[in-house]
Amino acid sequence: MKRIAAAILRRNDKILICRRGPGGSCGYLWEFPGGKIEPGETGEDCAVRECREELGVEIQLQGLREETVYEYPDGLYGFVFYDGVIISGEPEKRVHLEIRWVSPEKLTDFSFCPADRPMVERLSRPI
């Protein structure tokens, strides 16, 4: 099973989302920043690395939010979602078409990768 780590980054009551480029099963869809966990890497290390590489920011994780499994056409993927904040830098579009800060209740207005949709639904509900 492939393993993916993602960060739910918050700032001023908004959540950072990123729009993927073309290609793959999630081309042009929105996602939370993150990526594939490399051999010998923890989920936490992966989330921090991916945000540094793809967005040019340093983040601080504030804990594990959820672990899920999703089956894409090419196999099973294990996802770990972490809560976090940016501690240095401003997000840059290094690999994504767009990046946006969105209010939780507006997340459902965007087309997300299938594996992220349950998280989007949970985050968009009022507490």
d(CA 47, CA 25): 21
Give the residue ranges of the chain where pLDDT is below 50. none
Q: Which domain holds residue 49?
A: 2-124
Specify the pLDDT at position 112.
Answer: 98
What pTM value is reported for the model?
A: 0.95
Specify the pLDDT at position 81.
Answer: 98
CATH number at residue 58: 3.90.79.10
Specify the pLDDT at position 24.
Answer: 77
Domain total for the chain?
1
20 — alpha (psi -120 to 50), left (phi > 0) or beta? beta
Specify the pLDDT at position 127.
Answer: 64
